Structure 1
Amino acid sequence: MVNAGSLKFLAQPAVGAALLTAVHLILPSASLAQGQSVFPNSQTVPRINRPVSTPIQQPDTNYLLGGGDLIRVNVFEVPEYTGEYQIPPGGAINLPLIGSVSVLGLTTEQAADIITEKYRRFLKRPQISINLLSPRPINVLVAGEVTRPGAYTLSLQGGAGNNPGVQYPTVLAALTTAQGVTLAADVTQVQLKRKTGRSGEQLVTLNLKELIQTGNTAQDITLRDGDVIVVPTATTFNVAEARNLFAANFAASQTAPRTVAVIGEVYRPGSYLVSAGSTDGQNGTAASSGLPNVSRAIQLAGGITSQADIRNIKLRRPTRVGSEQTVDINLWELLKNGDVNQDVIVQDGDTIVIPTATAITPAEATQLATTTLSPAKIQVGVVGEVKQPGAVSLQANSSLNQALLAAGGFNDARARKGSVELIRLNPNGSVTKREIKVDFSQGINEESNPILRNNDVVVVNRSGVARTTDGLNILAGPLGIIFNMLRFFGI
């Protein structure tokens, strides 16, 4: 260990310049190529030193002593005064002759200078040095757009005890420990706050987007005890960047289920647990991507109804600052042009709102019925004067005429073929009934051949002739009984 007098000698400008030149001549690339940042008393922490497109202000890398550090105080003139000390939480150690000395928040060199001055009262030329034998654990605070904000203790890697080759955790390690950044995060403005000395503070802004795009690890700064990491909320939402962030190793877990609410024009509005993984789609085909996205949430909610407007879906996302991000989604672009960015990745707490369409063409309704956004089948009741009355299973967005044909068609001898009744249970709990004139020559239209919804009931009434015949049969029943009784008594 270099003593205080030697340090003062090396600090002279001329000596320092000569020494630096000599180091470069002997080892032209040894330290810089390896990206090593030299810490006090041979304490080293690796740091990759590559060219970056966005230079950042490096934080103070000097190690500051604190409670829990194990140090050795070397008193060269009096070896019996040399000893190892575990710094207590208050930061003061008790040394021979001079008593209590506070080293809290000081570098090893600063602490050695203070102890040297105190020993001058008892020693003629005191030479004091301090070695950091074992650093304390790294305690950091992670706040903002992470899954679990809070205080964390990060373990050190590498040597321990008298081995100073300790690797300190980085910003990414802290974000991962906090279970990753949320999809509402602005990773281009991550802030690192670090104490300098006993009262100062340094603020460094990191752009982790560069880390994703270029592998620029200079943004992944080595942490020190007491560091504070703040991940801000993005002011705007970019679906493509959010998808890239979702794949980053410091983002929230891709496989963790997330609770998402789906409301509006779906068959089963409610709250659902959406997770990643390959599962079958609603109509027997594989889901589009296997990601926890909007389309998977819609599938869990039973699929879209025939009245859904998939061009103007809204995703509402709460943020850590109490605000709400709103994302506009056009799933028609996903179906038509394969724009997967429209199928936004969801996260815990999202709400998906599917509005009611003002108008849907028959061609669009038919096309939507064949996608995984619609349910595989809907159940419709067809009762009354049809050949096979009961529940029929239809493809989503099927029409009234298709339901009648699925039930075998009209009972020709008894059915009133001119019109039927459509009974519908609405999402608000009300029930509507309307009469529809049947025309099998018509395509899909709201007047004579509307698209049916799940649990609709179609009632086919009797014709006038059937009602008359049924009335005569009812009347003939009692008369037949009376006639048989008269014959029994011989009247």
Structure 2
Amino acid sequence: MMLDRRHLLLTFGAAALAGCGAIPRPEPIVGDAAFTDIGFADWTDAEPEYLLYPGDEIEVALPTAAELTRTIRVGPDGRIALPLIGQVMAADRTLMELSQVVSDAYVGKLVRPVVEVSVRTAGPINIWVDGEVRTPGVYVMAGDISAYQAVVQAGGLLPSAKAQSAALIRRGPGGSRMLKVIDVRAIRGRTDALRRGDIVFVPRSTLGELAAFFTQFKAALPIGFSYSINGANGSGFANF
């Protein structure tokens, strides 16, 4: 299922790459000198702690005040509404962090504000596919898919695509950004599944030019893949 392209987080304009000279493609190693000044963290495949997103249905339980327990969905703005304390930001927080925030908010209102937060139903798992594909956009993952399958879902590669120099951008530890260079044609059948908020970008130029492009537009890349962020051109809004 593809969302409206107006909501695409990254607007990688082909015109921005025009006029760039050919630069030899460096080895596809994260942390390569070509990406030194972009601010990407070292790549890790470690599973991060779950962060809440809009659309997640959660239970906020208060064992010492059961009448205040609520099953509630995180709103599009990332907030939830709770009795006595009102609006609380939930998105982009771990379950433990939200439990602590809510518990602190209830101090002075309850004698023993013990709070337990759990996920009942996870919301949509969105990924971004952009660049030299036939239908760039934001897609909802129906299950575990690879970068190659995501490109197929986006209509496949254009003849101008540099499939061997695609970029996979992912949220890393502590909200950092990680980038790995991949060949989307070489990972058919592999079980490396994309994760929520992943960005697959297929360029039409060399990797060196891609590095220059990322440097120029690094402000448009999501620092924390937070629940909402302005588009690269200052307009548009993307909700996870």
Distance 2:102 2:121 in 1: 20
Alignment of 1:107-186 (within 5 A): 107-155=94-142, 157=143, 168-186=144-162
Alignment of 1:153-232 (within 5 A): 153-155=140-142, 157=143, 168-195=144-171, 200-208=175-183, 210-212=186-188, 217=191, 220-224=192-196, 226-232=197-203
Alignment of 1:21-420 (within 5 A): 57-58=44-45, 61-155=48-142, 157=143, 168-195=144-171, 200-208=175-183, 210-212=186-188, 217=191, 220-224=192-196, 226-233=197-204, 235=206
Matched length: 168
Q: Is the 8 A contact 1:60 1:196 kept in 2?
A: no
**Structure 1 counterpart SS, 2:130:** strand
User: Shift in Å at residue 188 of structure 1?
Assistant: 3.8
User: Shift in Å at residue 74 of structure 1?
Assistant: 1.4
Structure showing greater Rg: 1
Letter of the structure 1 residue corresponding to residue 147 of structure 2: V
Distance 2:52 2:102 in 1: 14
Q: Is the 8 A contact 2:127 2:139 kept in 1?
A: yes
User: Shift in Å at residue 210 of structure 1?
Assistant: 5.0
Distance 1:117 1:174 in 2: 42
Distance 2:165 2:44 in 1: 13
**Structure 1 counterpart SS, 2:163:** coil
Deviations along 1:329-349, whole A, 9 cap, x unmatched? xxxxxxxxxxxxxxxxxxxxx
Cα 1:106–1:79 change in 2 (3 A) is same
Deviations along 1:164-185, whole A, 9 cap, x unmatched? xxxx544333212102233543
Structure with higher RCO (Cα < 8 A, 6+ apart): 2
Q: Which runs of 4+ in 1 moved over 4 A?
A: 195-198
Deviations along 1:20-52, whole A, 9 cap, x unmatched? xxxxxxxxxxxxxxxxxxxxxxxxxxxxxxxxx
Distance 2:147 2:190 in 1: 13
User: Shift in Å at residue 60 of structure 1?
Assistant: 5.8
Cα 1:187–1:63 change in 2 (3 A) is farther
Q: Is the 8 A contact 2:146 2:190 kept in 1?
A: no
Distance 1:125 1:171 in 2: 48
Distance 2:140 2:85 in 1: 34
- When normalised by structure 1's length, the TM-score is 0.30
Cα 1:124–1:190 change in 2 (3 A) is farther
Distance 2:64 2:86 in 1: 18
Distance 1:186 1:127 in 2: 54
Letter of the structure 2 residue corresponding to residue 231 of structure 1: V
Cα 1:133–1:170 change in 2 (3 A) is farther
**Structure 1 counterpart SS, 2:204:** coil
User: Shift in Å at residue 134 of structure 1?
Assistant: 1.2
Distance 2:203 2:47 in 1: 22
Distance 1:197 1:57 in 2: 9
User: Shift in Å at residue 207 of structure 1?
Assistant: 2.5
**Structure 2 counterpart SS, 1:115:** helix
Is there any run of 5+ residues in structure 1 with no aligned partner, and where?
Answer: 1-53, 158-167, 237-320, 322-491
Cα 1:83–1:128 change in 2 (3 A) is same
